[in-house]
Structure 1
Amino acid sequence: MAGFLDNFRWPECVDWGERRNALSSVVAGVLFFTGWWVMIDAAVTYPSQEKMNHAFHTCGVFSTIAFFMINAVSNGQVRGDTYGEGCFGRIGARLWLFVGFMMMFGSLIGSIWILFAAYVTQGKEVAPGLAVFFQNVFIFFSTLIYKFGRTEDLWG
């Protein structure tokens, strides 16, 4: 689960082995930062409630919480390979990960709904709706890159 890119054949001239975790972390951080930057820029550009409803920030907040929920569980805990079982063990880790992904997909679907229901169909300026959508898309991809782009060291 951790290395879906493990079987991908990279060019021979580039050795990603040692730098894979660092590169994945930097790319995920840049995407996460860009998502929040887009939303903060839209909030500053459209400060009135009529142009951009302040409740639309909720999707980004839930995406951020889901980002931390998904990445708080290691792949070893989900597989059951860890030595310490914790309070709920493997079932609890899988449930936690499932709830995190459900929050992430729910936020992404909610941002698409906001884009179309509040801006596209009503003929308003589309930029605030696009900001909500792109914020959640960037956070979504940063979550996936940070979770599945890194490798975990086996301790012990």
Structure 2
Amino acid sequence: MSNLCENINIPPCIWFEGDSRRNAIASMVSGFLFFVGWWVIIDAASVYPGTVEAGYHMCGVVGTISLIMVNSVSNAQIRGDAYEGGCLGPRGSRVWLFLGFVLGFASVIASCWILFANFVGSTVSTSQWPGVGLFLQNALIFISSLIFKFGRSEDLWG
């Protein structure tokens, strides 16, 4: 019974084998998700003026800073292979990555909090789309950060 699947050959996915294509596809998907996230909140703010307060946009700004922080550190730096200098070395890059993820999670949690506290549970009859747009923006930015960080190979980036 263990020899049943030994002779099955699954052809490799040729269009996704090259590291340069993998990096390009991950970068394009990540950039598109980042664009869609900001487009959603701009749409919500323009269609429903006055419902999205200026402070709500800080969640998206913090998410964007998180994206920059997470993707400014390569996996080789985290492992300690390519980063020997500085005052903290690989430990500093790990702390930087951790703080980037904390900021990303914080922006998603804060936007979820704003969605349920001010738009879903509100007794005032306003549209829920601005709150949903705020949550979608931060979720898409966080997913974009993860795709760009873990969806590419390290050969071309560091």
TM-score range, shorter chain: 0.7 to 0.9
Partner of 1:12: 12
Evaluate the alpha carbon distance shift between residue 91 and residue 115 of structure 1 in structure 2; reply closer, same or farther with a 3 A threshold: same
What is the rounded CA distance, in whole Å, between the counterparts of 1:46 and 1:107 in structure 2? 22
Pairing partner for 1:45 from 44, 47, 51: 47
TM-score between the two structures when normalised by the length of structure 2 = 0.85
Q: Secondary structure at the match of 1:35?
A: helix
Percent identity between matched residues is 53
Alignment partner, residue 23 of structure 1: 25
* CA distance 1:131–1:23, change in 2 (3 Å): same
Do the aligned partners of residues 89 and 55 (structure 1) sit closer, same or farther apart at CA in structure 2, a change above 3 Å counting?
same
Query: What residue in structure 2 maps to residue 90 of structure 1?
Result: 90
Spell out, residue by residue over 1:65-86, the C-alpha distance to the aligned partner (whole angstroms, 9 max, x if none). 0000000001111000015433
Residue of structure 2 in register with 1:6 after alignment: none
Tell me the distance in 2 between the aligned counterparts of 1:150 and 1:139: 17
For the residue of structure 2 that corresponds to 1:59, the secondary structure is helix
Work out which of the two has the higher radius of gyration on C-alpha atoms and give 1 or 2.
2
- Pairs within 5 Å for 1:117-132: 117-123=117-123, 124-132=126-134
Query: Which residue is equivalent to 2:4?
Result: none
1:133 maps to amino acid: F
Q: Partners in 2 of 1:70 and 1:13 — Cα distance?
A: 29
CA distance in structure 2 between the aligned counterparts of 1:118 and 1:106, rounded to whole angstroms: 18
Cα RMSD (Å) of the superposition? 1.8
Deviation digits for residues 60-108 of structure 1 (CA, Å, limit 9, x no counterpart): 0000000000000011110000154333200100000000000000000
Structure 1 residue aligned with 2:137, among 118, 135, 150?
A: 135
Aligned residues: 144
| Range moving further from structure 2, 68-77 or 12-21 | 12-21
Superposition misfits of 4+ residues, deviation over 3 angstroms: none
- CA drift at 1:11: 6.2
Structure 2: segments with no counterpart, 5+ residues: 1-9
Give the TM-score, by structure 1 length: 0.86
